[in-house]
Structure 1
């Protein structure tokens, strides 16, 4: 039963898995191509320039270990950039740095989807592992209440990912606009930047689709079990 359920789930979510693989390949390709184009600013300088232009002088920028580990921490008001982005003088570096600066600007202006996403973080973190495990165990042991509990918990992750999409898309839109308006990148040179940010956006779409399909799979199993009595 355990193996059969996993195979069913794999087949059900195959379109999302395929999209995720495509997105990752696109990200790797876009990242590498963008690294070939030099800019006059490092990722740190570009982010600092954008933040200062928005009046966010208090937002710090720190280097962080890891590859593509760039993120904005709304609790500490710190923008953390991986070494390649922090020190890099490439279109990839300034594009990613500007995207993260876009999140800081969202935070400063009270962008509603970001506010909701931040509130949903605890539910998403707990629901991701616990919800998936409970759903699987509920099917294996034919325990409807366990399955339902897992569905409720996993729904927290799905909600988080759905609300995260407009947050990420908006940050990329802001980044593209600000890079040009702040004079960091010439409009004619934005192609590689757009490529990197669009590829990254597709990874979020793929992850969300996989979670939605997983939830639907177990919801249908729950409905099927209920109909049988």
Structure 2
């Protein structure tokens, strides 16, 4: 009961996350039905943006699934989902341009993305070990384990905090590139913004979830020490 009672702290984050997921799926679905006036596919848009930034070495591949689009810096490849790669829709072009924005971030040494990469190893440990460490600390009355678990989870919060500017910047680069190259008409550009804004809300929700999870660990720790 002691542990379970703190679950209530996470309820706002769970609700926010569900709403954010519904928003992005709804926006993507809506604007995936809107064909862009130039007939550009997602792959076309990404390739053009990459080439205009001198990133001819970055490959573009098709990947299965929906909203599975991402840039893999280790393989130097943008992977676009079936709904984006060969689709000439406003949503497809917006999403593809966003992933091209990530590739440009890496190429230009964008500081937040460097920081995010640097803390990824600690974040992986933090996300999987923080709660078990706190639980073990409570069970065996070892305060140092509780402290270690909380500190590890702070890395997760930092990762989510750094992810926000990375994602917003990639979307900003995408919209600027689409506007300057006249890939989309003004009304289409506004619709692409709606898709990217909805997608950004999922990262905001992840940040809120991380913060409330940290609050939960702190509450558990405070109760234990009292």
- TM-score, with normalisation over the residues of structure 1? 0.92
Give, in angstroms, the shift of residue 140 of structure 1.
4.9
Give, in angstroms, the shift of residue 136 of structure 1.
3.5
Give, in angstroms, the shift of residue 154 of structure 1.
1.4
Of 11, 25, 28, the match for 1:28: 25
> For the structure 1 residues 202 and 141, does the alpha-carbon distance in structure 2 shift closer, same or farther, using more than 3 Å as the test?
farther
Moved more, 148-157 or 104-113: 148-157
Instruction: Check the 8 A contact 1:135/1:148 in 2, yes or no.
Output: yes
Give, in angstroms, the shift of residue 90 of structure 1.
0.8
Q: Distance in 1 between matches of 2:47 and 2:97?
A: 9
> For the structure 1 residues 174 and 129, does the alpha-carbon distance in structure 2 shift closer, same or farther, using more than 3 Å as the test?
same
Unaligned runs of 5+ residues in structure 2 are none
SS at match of 2:79: strand
Partner residue in 1 for 2:120: 121
> For the structure 1 residues 199 and 137, does the alpha-carbon distance in structure 2 shift closer, same or farther, using more than 3 Å as the test?
farther
Root-mean-square deviation (CA, aligned residues, Å) is: 1.6
Give, in angstroms, the shift of residue 118 of structure 1.
1.0
Aligned residues: 224
Instruction: Check the 8 A contact 2:3/2:220 in 1, yes or no.
Output: no
Partner residue in 2 for 1:16: 13
Q: Distance in 2 between matches of 1:158 and 1:31?
A: 28
Give, in angstroms, the shift of residue 142 of structure 1.
4.3
Note the alpha carbon deviations across 1:65-86, whole angstroms, 9 max, x for none: 2221111111222111112111
Unaligned runs of 5+ residues in structure 1 are none
Q: Distance in 2 between matches of 1:222 and 1:95?
A: 44
